[in-house]
Amino acid sequence: MDSNDRLISYSANGRSFESETIELQRMVRAFAEKEISKAQEKMDESHDFPYDCWQKWSDLGMAGILVPEEYGGVELDPFSYIVAMEEVARVSQTFALIWQVHVLVGNMYNLLGNDDQKDTWLRKFATGEILGAFGLTEPNAGSDAGGVQTRAVLENGHWKINGNKIFISNAGTEISDGLILMAATDKKADGRPILSSFIVPRNTPGFKLGQSFKKMAWHGMDNRELVFENATIPEANLLGVEGAGLKQALSGLNLGRIVFGALGAGLIQACLDESLEYAKQRRQFGKSISSFQLVQAKIADMAIHAEAVRSFTLHAARLFNEGKDCQAEAAMVKTFGTEMATKATLDAFQIHGGYGFMEDYKVNRYFRESKMLEIGEGTNEIQRLLIAKHLGC
């Protein structure tokens, strides 16, 4: 099945998209294959943020894909966004993740921001002039946000912030601005923090970019530590309701988790495409290795899982689009999609034999990229806990 067949099969077997979504999918696929694939190659070598590609992507309206037209966005629906996400993810997980974080942040501004905040920030997010980042994780607070130690105290009309964040994506590029920061503004009777969300402009006094991390993949995405030493922002930079920060952040997670399903589907499809092509041309024992049944089984599994993850992701995206409760489905597609992606990358590596170990081969990168999908956006253990809770455990 080549890329075009995939497009046709989407619209032909009872899961038909609206014509605009098909148009968007075609456009994104063409852009990804031409521009994002070039940016991916450069990122792998230089580890630099893909400014040129981001600019071109933004010029297509994609930085503001979910932003209302009123604030300069193209205001497409989340289902279309998920369809587009798979196309990007098939070519570059890194670019897809940069985009995912940016869109998530824009969404938070749209849902929680007041008119002034939207005017000041959301318009710039919509055009891609600035890049969004979201800072929750700390050295002692990963899965458990109850460990957050960063504090914000209101003094004379300003919030004074002290603490550290770690691993934060998109936070340190030349165009990063309007960081959404999660900090404690109070504590509960048991001592656990009550969180609020804040807008932190890049030039805030006392806000410093810490070390950036050397990663095994996702090169080109900026991930770093953030340091707040009496960082001072105006009182008006509180985003949403004081004390509701965690609830506000969690409300954006369903879409984020469905995105991870699309990242998984894209990665599995990429493994399938590469493995099929390689297996057909690689000859051993006088035959193409695609004629060996043990190789065929791996390729067939990839095809099954690509289709299953895609269908399940689109199902969850549709529920989300219709405003239906989809917390369990989102957790399921995140878990299933990312674990099937890891399996596909291992199998694709195996089919490539020793060549899979060489960095020149795409499957080498796929293998390095997949594991983190099981950890980001809430680890798969946490997803399973959510699913079990939903089932009444």
Ligand X SMILES: Cc1cc2nc3c(=O)[nH]c(=O)nc-3n(C[C@H](O)[C@H](O)[C@H](O)COP(=O)(O)OP(=O)(O)OC[C@H]3O[C@@H](n4cnc5c(N)ncnc54)[C@H](O)[C@@H]3O)c2cc1C
Q: Which of 125, 167, 349, 361 binds ligand X (CB under 6 A)?
A: 167
Does residue 356 interact with ligand X by CB under 6 A? Answer: no
d(CA 144, CA 271): 33
Closest separation in Å from C-beta 385 to ligand X: 6
d(CA 265, CA 249): 25
d(CA 373, CA 246): 22
Task: CB nearer to ligand X: give 195 or 279.
Answer: 195
Task: CB nearer to ligand X: give 76 or 332.
Answer: 332
Q: Which of 165, 133, 373, 343 is nearest to 257 (CA)?
A: 373
Task: CB nearer to ligand X: give 136 or 309.
Answer: 136
Q: Which of 92, 137, 275, 345 binds ligand X (CB under 6 A)?
A: 137
Q: Which of 49, 52, 76, 57 is nearest to 65 (CA)?
A: 76
Closest separation in Å from C-beta 263 to ligand X: 13
Angle between helices 78-91 and 293-321 (to 10 degrees): 150
| Lookup: tokens for 376 | 């980001």
Ranges of beta strands (E only) in the chain are 134-135, 151-155, 158-169, 179-187, 193-200, 207-212, 223-234, 238-239, 283-284, 287-288
Of 75-134, binders to ligand X (CB under 6 A) are: 101, 134
Backbone angles phi, psi at 163, to 5 degrees: 150, -170
Closest separation in Å from C-beta 259 to ligand X: 13
Closest separation in Å from C-beta 21 to ligand X: 28
Q: Which of 92, 110, 150, 169 binds ligand X (CB under 6 A)?
A: 169
* Residue 377 annotated among the catalytic residues of the structure: yes
d(CA 314, CA 194): 35
Closest separation in Å from C-beta 234 to ligand X: 23
Does residue 149 interact with ligand X by CB under 6 A? Answer: no
Does residue 136 interact with ligand X by CB under 6 A? Answer: yes
Binding interface with ligand X (CB under 6 A): 101, 134-137, 142-143, 167-169, 215, 218, 223, 372, 375-376, 379, 381-382, 385
Q: Which residues are catalytic?
A: 377
